[in-house]
Structure formats: structure tokens, C-alpha cells
Amino acid sequence: MKTISICSGKKKLRSLGFDAFFGACLLGAVLLALSGCGPKVSKPVEPPPAAGISTILVVAFQDMATIYGQNTQVRSPISGNLFFTGPVQEDAPALLTAWVETTLEEKGFKVLSSATAEEAKAQALADGDARMDDLTLALNMGRATEADAVVVGHVFRFAERIGNPYSVESPASVAFGIHLVRVADGRVIWSARFDEAQKPLADNLLKIGDFLKHKGTWVTAVQLARSGLMQKLATFPAP
């Protein structure tokens, strides 16, 4: 398999010295262009308040690749967006769920954990139709726990890189969807999707921010997933 260089993205350069020189020149040119010609960066917009929502039930992320298999297109049960499934690390759903719980607590919400959600799910399935869709099930769980809203997440791909921080045969690739559903009216009031595989800088100069954030290295699936999730949760409605 071909080894991908973080800067070239086409083939591994023979000389490490030339590779470093080329990368430095490319990075310098991009930074110069961005600083001299690019528009001024505006301040981030504060997310709108989540009116009437203070208590949130977080449902554990569901591994969709286990249900539907790998290398197939699957629709999100909540948004209907299409995702391409792939390998999912065993601990990926738990990691994503824990990050969401911690972040929402830091934002000031009262968070009912995924453990509470599992108890509510068992009760909802016992009391209702076992074939109910994900949205209906989430709403029933929210009502059972007296939550104002429910966060539902699905992970479709969580594939580890093959290689090391400086040279890979295959980069990390992650795809997930996450949704905030208000219990009172069943409305999905916030959604986010993340579906990315890390690419060489030369393949996407618009990702220069991500390139600098990761210090020009190939990241792990955990690093890619956490970075993407934190980016998405920055737009989550405020309490």
C-alpha cells in the first residue's frame, strides 16, 4: 500500500530533507496568502439559548456498523442524512457518550447519564412497542426520566489510522451524528454531523487550521473524533 505524506498526499518523497523543505515552503506560502489576502476572521457567534431546557438525558451512542454492517450506506434514524459505515472501535460509543455528558455539564445543563437512559430504555420497551423508531423511543425515555430534552447519537465509522504520526497507509476516519430532541413537542432543535477522514494539507488547503492544530501530524481516530465532536458541540444551544 502507498505511504501518504502529510504534505504531498500523492506519493512519499524520496528525500526527507526535500520533504521538510517542500512542506515548510507550502505552509509559508499558504500562511502568507491567508494573512495578506484573506478576509478578517469574525468572532464566533454565540449559540442561541435552549429555551425551557435545563435537564438533558444523554442516550449512549449507537454503533450503526454493528447493526447494518460495514461498507454500506446507512441513513441516520433521526436526521435521514446518509453515512458510509466502516470499522468502529469497541470503545468508540462509550467515549463519544462520555465526552458529550462532560461537555454538557460544563455548559451548565443538568445531565442525566447514559446509565439512567439505559434504565429508561428498558422500561420504555417493556411498556410500549418494541418496534418503535429511535425518535419515539427517545421521547418516551425523556418522559420517563422527566427530562426536558434528550441527546441521541449514532456512530457510523471510527477507523484507526494505519501508520504513525508522520507516515500512514490509511488515515483515521470518523463519522457520527448527534441530535437534541425537545421532549415537550418532539422537535429536533439541534443536529450536527461529522464525517471526515484526515487528508494531506496539499489536498485541502482550506483545512490549514486543522493542519496547524494537529501540528502537521496524522492523528488517531480518538483525536479526530474528539476534535470533531468539540467543534460541533461549540454550536450546541446554551442553557
For the chain, list the domains and their CATH numbers. Answer: 49-233 (3.40.50.10610)
Please answer whether residues 186 and 135 qualify as being in contact, where contact means their C-beta atoms are separated by less than 8 angstroms.
yes
pLDDT beyond 60 at 15: no
Rounded to two decimals, what is the model's pTM?
Answer: 0.76
pLDDT of amino acid 3: 55
User: Percentage helix, strand, coil, to 5, in the chain?
Assistant: 40, 25, 35
The grid coordinates listed for 50 are: 435552549
Residue 72 Cα distances to 47, 65, 84, angstroms: 34, 9, 6
Q: How confident is the model at residue 43 (pLDDT cuts 50, 70, 90)?
A: very low
CA distance 10 to 237: 41
Q: What is the mean pLDDT of the chain?
A: 80
- Of 86-90, 117-121, 164-168, the one with minimum mean pLDDT is 164-168
pLDDT of amino acid 126: 84
CA distance 59 to 137: 11
Provide the phi-psi class of 220: left if phi over 0, else alpha when psi is between -120 and 50, else beta: beta
pLDDT of amino acid 14: 35
Residue 51 Cα distances to 46, 152, 181, angstroms: 15, 19, 12
> What is the amino acid identity at position 113?
S
Q: How confident is the model at residue 142 (pLDDT cuts 50, 70, 90)?
A: very high
202 or 239: whose pLDDT is higher?
239
pLDDT beyond 70 at 148: yes
pLDDT beyond 90 at 165: no
User: For the stretch 113-147, what's the b/e string if a residue is b when 16 or more beta carbons lie within 10 angstroms of its beta carbon?
Assistant: ebebbeebbeebeeeeeeeeebbebbbbbbebbeb
196 or 13: whose pLDDT is higher?
196
pLDDT of amino acid 218: 82
